[in-house]
Structure 1
Amino acid sequence: MDEFQQIARRHQLATRASTAFLYSICVSVAMNFFWEPGKIYASGITGFAQLLATITKRFLPFTLSTPILLFLLNLPLFVLAWRQIGKRFTFFTFLAVIFSSIMMKVMPITELTFDPIICAIFGGVVNGFGTGFALKNGISTGGLDIIGLVLRKKTGRSIGTINITFNVFIVLAAGFVFGWPHAFYSALSIFVNGKVMDMVYTRQQKMQVMIVTDQPRNVIDHIQNRMRRGITIVHDAEGAYQHDAKTILFTVISRYEMHDLQVAMQESDPRAFVSISDTIKILGHFYEPTV
């Protein structure tokens, strides 16, 4: 058993390291193929690094590149992640930032198109996918992802929404530096980035589940064996067609756990009626797995 656990742990570590490298490719493609050629600022700390790089280039006798500034700006956030989120999470976040800084420096800036709208949309899609995939696999990409994860634990707001809120300053900066049309293009890219991120990173999307069954104990056991979720039981329900006794179960899961729920229901009561709906907001305790 110990040997199996060691193999599983090594596999998990390799997966997270590979995810960090994949993210670095995505953000570098977004930056060097779309954002830089289109004069578009990215979201979060990456966009702030672009802004500082532009300022040093225009107004200071020395120039600091975006990759170097990206790493320097993330240093204090590594401390926040270490204290508030976890050591392993911080280590892989550090890897993601290091890989990203190197890949941005190594990958040449390539002008695929001069259309800023295309650059805004595709830059947001590529980066949003990379960021969401990284978060889904238990690492962050640094910057506002760390702040977003910390605030999500306290507020329940989605990662994408938090990023969009923090990026008003980036949009305004793009307007002053590149002109207001490019501010709107940057806003479009940030919006697309946030939405794609939420589509990929589904762990924070909550769903309410209502189950009508005549085998409540079996269903409860299977769900709780697969997911750490509380269940509310409503006894003495009655089916209107055959007037047979039913029990109604209520629980809340994340969209990430949808497959686990489907498997649990198939094993426990395939004939149960299950209704699943999006949940806007949750008050009270909802278990969040550690990253």
Structure 2
Amino acid sequence: MKDFKLRDFILITIGILLVAFSLEYFYIPARIAAGGVTGIAIILNSFIPALPVGAIILVLNLILFATAFLTIGGGFGAKTIYASYGLSLIMWAMEAVLKPQALTDDLFINAAVGTIIVAIGMAMVFNSGASTGGTDILAKILNRYFHLDIGKSLLIVDFIVGLGGIMTFGIRIGLYAMLCIVVNGTLIDRLIDGLNTSKELMVISRNEEEIIRFIIKDLDRSCTVLTGYGGYTGEGTSVLYVVLNWREYIRLREYIREIDPRAFISVNDVHEVLGEGFKDLR
């Protein structure tokens, strides 16, 4: 629990709220069983309408966590437990109080908009070091006993859920669910990359001392000074290497533009930075 920071709590909460909203107003009314425990719950709800999807998810997660604890041990982490049970409880409350209805009857819009919102929410949850449990647990069990990669295990589980959707709701809705499964996984990866993107800079300037002071005092960062020489002139030069977030990069770029318009700056996108000032290496 000591690693469960307030920022993580807020981001996970917003993430599961987005996922719950998308499921209740897009996926469930359209009967899109796009993999995972939610997909299983949507299928079961079609056979037992009296049971809310949120309640089914809660029961399934309880069973899965108990099974995983007995077969592969604990170690889920407070974040994953909070995210998984938080999602099911929020959905249960929404179904009991708000009585969600479909916002549109168009199957394509339900699939497309639902997938985008789910991907944004899940990316926030995953980026905070949590997951919503569910099929992640099944994948870990398959990995433990059948030595399958986690990624392949997840794909197998979601594919089986998708087949269940085809057999329950028909080929048209089932194929939309399959498409949502594929697009959702890809979109989550892209969103996580975007959330973690930093800027890697190499700067060559005659005013390197002023730039170093600006980086340290104004941006509260540090940099590495590399020694080199010009291939054309043969003169010695210093190359500043620094990694900054997007806002810091804009400030540094504007500062360099003011003091040395002839400076040379190389900029690359970095999708993950580990260490002091960024994500904890542990």
Provide the TM-score with structure 1 as the length reference: 0.62
| 1:42 to 2:34 alignment | yes
Q: How far has the Cα of 1:185 moved from its partner?
A: 0.8
- Aligned partners of 1:178, 1:92: CA distance in 2, in Å? 28
2-structure distance, mates of 1:197, 1:248: 36
Counterpart selection for 1:213 from 204, 222, 231: 204
- What letter is aligned with 2:40? F
Higher Cα Rg, which structure: 2
Aligned partners of 1:238 and 1:244 also within 8 Å: yes
Quote the residue 2:114 is aligned against.
123
Q: How many residues align?
A: 253
Measure, in 2, the Cα distance between the counterparts of 1:94 and 1:20.
12
Match in the other structure for 1:5: none
CA contact (8 A) 2:54 2:88 kept: no
Q: What code does the residue aligned with 1:33 have? A: Y
Residue of structure 1 in register with 2:165 after alignment: 174
For residues 18 and 211 of structure 1, do their structure 2 counterparts lie closer, same or farther at Cα, with a shift above 3 Å needed? closer
Distance 1:259 1:86, change over 3 A: farther
Give 2:44's aligned amino acid: L
Q: CA deviation at 1:140?
A: 3.8
- Counterparts of residues 127-276 of structure 1 (less than 5 Å): 127-137=118-128, 139-144=130-135, 167-202=158-193, 209=200, 211-213=202-204, 215=208, 218=212, 222=216, 226=221, 235-238=227-230, 240=232, 244-247=235-238, 258-259=245-246, 262=249, 265=252, 271=263, 273-276=265-268
Distance 1:71 1:192, change over 3 A: same
CA contact (8 A) 2:54 2:89 kept: no
For the pair 1:66 / 2:47, whether they are aligned, the reply is: no
Contact 2:199 2:249 in 1 (8 A): no
Q: 2:58 corresponds to which letter in structure 1? A: F
SS at match of 1:236: strand
SS at match of 1:37: helix
1:30 is aligned, of 2, 22, 37, to 22
Change (3 A) 1:264 1:87: farther
Query: What is the CA-CA distance between 1:40 and the residue it aligns to?
Result: 0.9
Residue 146 of structure 2 aligns with which residue?
A: none
Distance 1:24 1:278, change over 3 A: closer
Distance 1:105 1:180, change over 3 A: same
The letter of the residue matching 2:112 is: I
Question: For residue 273 of structure 1, what is the amino acid of its counterpart?
Answer: I
Q: Is the 8 A contact 1:124 1:189 kept in 2?
A: yes
Tell me the TM-score normalised to structure 2 length.
0.63
Percent identity over the alignment is: 19
Q: Give the Å deviation of 1:49.
A: 2.3
> Which ranges in structure 1 are unaligned for 5 or more consecutive residues?
1-8, 150-158
CA distance in 2, matches of 1:136, 1:259: 18
What are structure 2's unaligned runs of at least 5 residues?
141-149, 258-262
Structure 2 distance, partners of 1:273, 1:87, is 43
Larger displacement relative to structure 2 (172-181 or 260-269): 260-269
CA contact (8 A) 1:175 1:182 kept: yes
